[in-house]
Amino acid sequence: MLQGKTRASGPRGSLGGALRRLRGNRRGSAIAMMAAGLIPAIAALGSAIDAGRIYIVKSQLQTGVDAAALAGARAFSVSGTASNSRESQVAAYFSGNFPDTYMGVTNLKVAPAFTVIKDINTTTVVATATLPMSFMRLFGFMQQPVRATARAAINPHPLEVMMVLDNTGSLKANLPRDSNGVVKTRITALKDAAKSFNEILFQGGDTRKDLAMGYVMYDITVNVGKLLTDWRSSSVRQMFGFNDVVANTYGGTWPSNKLGWKGCVFGDDTVKDLTATLTYRDPNAWDIDRTLPGEGAHPPVKPYFIPPMYVPQMPGNAVATGAKANPSSAYYSVANVEPNNNLYKLHPSYYDQMLNLDFYGNQFANNPYREAFYDAYIDLNDNAAKADNDVIVRADNGGFYDPSSNPWNFTTRTGTQFRVRYDRIPQFNNWKDATEYTVNPLGGSVDDGARNKTEFPSPNWQCPEAATKVDYGRSRSFYDDVIDRQNAAIYPANGTLHHAGLLWGYRLLVRDDVFKRTPPRGQEEPKRALVFMTDGETALGTSQNGYDDRTWTFYGNYADSPISSSRGGLIGQSERRFAKTCAALQAEDNAPKVYIVALTTTDRNTLAMFEQCAPGHVYQTSDTATLKAAFDDIASELVDLHLVQ
């Protein structure tokens, strides 16, 4: 019985033991377990990879429609198939950000829509695509649809913009090579950026009835004189033979009369050493606010005039004894420096009248030539025995003029009167016929100071082209032409005075009671902006071969210390006038918003001055791309271009 029970129980014990042994034996079971566990792991990994691909495609698709919507909004006014149309711009900007085969997508579709709702121009771009799956195909997920939408809006409103553009010679310098390997000069990049600015303001079209623009080009002066005299003839003082009836009668007006006035002006009457308090208007400082020359107690301005002048070959710190008394010396030869020679000939038939006729009977008070000739040649008068080469002689008898005996005082207009002998000028072979002095529109198109110069000599040397007053009804092509043909680097030259450009940009913009414009009827008060562009700090070439009386500025001759108690204080006082002018602008009703684009400008004091004038709106740019981006950003803000979805 015992054996039978054992047999009976033997097989059951044998099976249970086998099972127990099987459970306890772990050899080879890990492979099966891993295989079973890899299935969900692979699914999770594949899902993560494909989810990442979906995210990347979705993000890039959104970038594409955002760029396309903004581009379409900028070109809203132009429809059709032309390259500048809103449809073409949407397609170009979308494909530039999302190529057709990006990440292997298929069925890519882009649908723009352009609508006007309550006077708001709206561009909507919807893009859809199908993204094939990679790992998730193993689990039956073959593809994933992706969609992105962007909506950009522009809210048109009356807009008045004054562009103040630096035209100094430094703009001929090259900028760094751009992303396409192209090298552009600063002025070329400025022209391109300014025209892109116009394109955004005009929303790609050529007309916009509620937009008014103006331009002021500047270097050491500005050309606003004809705008002033069109308003009030007495706003600019008359200079004999330059901008008066004599000039008009005997020579005609500029440009046919190359010795006539082109239209630039010197700064307003002012006082030296203005106080530092920006909101304080120093008495008799007429060069820091909105009032205009000839208005009320504001004195008229002088027409900008540069007399015949040159830089001597003999260095100013090494003038030999007796050199100035010797007409053959190197003192009367011309140095090879920039600028060197602005010696222009007077009219061959009228030079004696220009120099010696007291036409107005006021002791030559408004004769632009006599003081310059006296200062240039009085040192020849060293000895009565050698008077035959003297340029300055007695007015009464033509004899020896003794500068040590009661000489003429140009301030009090008293003393011994003199006559200028034009026929005795030493080394007259250095003198040249005056040029027309229209700015060369190609100035600065190449980085070469010997090419595309605005040739002188001229009484209008360094005078930019005429300012364009702010007005409605002009086409975009009109403004593009101003940028291309009237805005250029001017050289040879010797300085940059930001105050001149800002002051007159401010006045031409806010004084719409004088410089009249008519906004469209039934619209709100216009938004106003002043966009100021420069490539450097306030600067002057103050010493020409050791002579500081050969430098002319907005304020007069540098050697006369016209706005500061010392010659070296001119730069600081000019910048103080810039700051005070900007403070006056900021205090205006409906004050214009100021934007400053500083190209390659690194001077800390200059940048601080700019930031004080345009808080939060100073664009430091260094190359073609950042310059264009700055102008585009300003234009987008002015037209209120923004994404709403």
Measured CA to CA, the distance from residue 203 to residue 72 in angstroms comes to: 9
Question: In this structure, are 371 and 393 located in the same domain?
Answer: yes
Specify the DSSP class assigned to residue 158: -
CA angle 226, 232, 234 (to 5 degrees): 95
Q: Residue 538's closest CA among 495, 493, 489?
A: 495
Q: Identify whether 480 is part of a domain.
A: yes
Judge whether 173 and 447 are in contact, CB under 8 Å: yes
CA angle 343, 344, 349 (to 5 degrees): 140
Collapsing DSSP states into helix, strand and coil, what is residue 9?
Answer: helix
Question: In this structure, are 586 and 471 located in the same domain?
Answer: yes
Low-confidence ranges of the chain (pLDDT < 70): 1-46, 522-523
Q: Identify whether 244 is part of a domain.
A: no
Collapsing DSSP states into helix, strand and coil, what is residue 248?
Answer: helix
- Given 128, 154, 180, the domain boundary residue is 154
What does pTM read for this prediction? 0.85
Question: In this structure, are 85 and 172 located in the same domain?
Answer: no
pLDDT tens per residue, range 386-418: 999 999 999 999 999 999 999 999 999 999 999
Domain tally, the chain: 3
Question: In this structure, are 547 and 454 located in the same domain?
Answer: yes
Q: Identify whether 239 is part of a domain.
A: no
Q: Identify whether 402 is part of a domain.
A: yes
Predicted confidence at residue 50, as pLDDT, reads: 85
Question: Domain range holding 96?
Answer: 38-154
Question: In this structure, are 536 and 506 located in the same domain?
Answer: yes
Judge whether 369 and 355 are in contact, CB under 8 Å: yes
Measured CA to CA, the distance from residue 552 to residue 305 in angstroms comes to: 9
Predicted confidence at residue 39, as pLDDT, reads: 53
Predicted confidence at residue 157, as pLDDT, reads: 82
> Residue 558 is part of a domain; what is its CATH number?
3.40.50.410
Measured CA to CA, the distance from residue 532 to residue 599 in angstroms comes to: 11
Collapsing DSSP states into helix, strand and coil, what is residue 400?
Answer: strand
Question: In this structure, are 221 and 84 located in the same domain?
Answer: no
Predicted confidence at residue 12, as pLDDT, reads: 46
Question: In this structure, are 178 and 144 located in the same domain?
Answer: no
Q: What are phi and psi of 522, to 5 degrees?
A: 70, 15
3-state secondary structure 66-93: HHHHHHHHHCCCCCCCCCCCHHHHHHHH
- Given 430, 459, 474, the domain boundary residue is 430
Question: In this structure, are 568 and 626 located in the same domain?
Answer: yes
Question: In this structure, are 119 and 77 located in the same domain?
Answer: yes
Q: How many CA atoms within 13 Å lie on the side-chain side of 424?
A: 21
Predicted confidence at residue 4, as pLDDT, reads: 38
- How far, in whole angstroms, is CA 545 from its chain's centroid? 30
Question: In this structure, are 85 and 215 located in the same domain?
Answer: no
Q: Identify whether 17 is part of a domain.
A: no
Distances (CA, A) of 138 to 130, 131, 146, 620: 18, 16, 21, 54
pLDDT tens per residue, range 306-347: 999 999 999 999 999 999 999 999 999 999 988 889 999 999
Question: In this structure, are 63 and 210 located in the same domain?
Answer: no
Distances (CA, A) of 265 to 100, 308, 406, 504: 58, 18, 33, 11
Predicted confidence at residue 592, as pLDDT, reads: 97
Q: What are phi and psi of 435, to 5 degrees?
A: -90, 165
Q: Identify whether 558 is part of a domain.
A: yes
Composition of the chain by helix, strand, coil, percent to 5 = 35, 20, 45
Q: Identify whether 437 is part of a domain.
A: no
Predicted confidence at residue 288, as pLDDT, reads: 98
- Given 154, 175, 196, the domain boundary residue is 154
Predicted confidence at residue 643, as pLDDT, reads: 82
Question: In this structure, are 541 and 495 located in the same domain?
Answer: yes
Q: Identify whether 181 is part of a domain.
A: yes
208 Cβ contact list (under 8 Å, min separation 6): 77, 156, 201, 202, 476
